[in-house]
Structure 1
């Protein structure tokens, strides 16, 4: 990878890339989303998306939430750490009844 990430961050990224490759492999060519469209749907620039996908930027909770929403790939499948953070945040923000 880039050398900017901790080993566990690299492992998360590799797991994400593997899951994403499997998703793309199961899609018809016409159904695959371009990097430009994916970046737009994630609300980031193509440069930022590329930084996440190549390991120049560590995966974070915001990216994981947007990526799961867009692709349907569960965060837990590549990052139990981020999935736990998301779950914890959801529990802390439940409205009082």
Structure 2
């Protein structure tokens, strides 16, 4: 899958990627040129939430992710809380089955 740009307050972008709980999302903070790596962080997709909280099957800023990016430990927050980001979805082999 190609990287997907996510912006808080913007609609979920069109993409062929359908997120599943447990997918790893590599994150590039757009405009954070001081960070030396092409991919700056990772989060794990947890819950599909579209506008109004209803699942929409698309990766967007309202989706909930598990993040351990600060000293408070694991937290669940909206993907859009990461700021303006490019996301590269990663799924383990054998993944992709919906239950």
- TM-score band w.r.t. shorter chain: under 0.3
Greater Cα radius of gyration, structure 1 or 2: 1
- TM-score normalised by length of structure 2: 0.22
- TM-score normalised by length of structure 1: 0.23
Larger helix fraction of residues: 1
Larger strand fraction of residues: 2
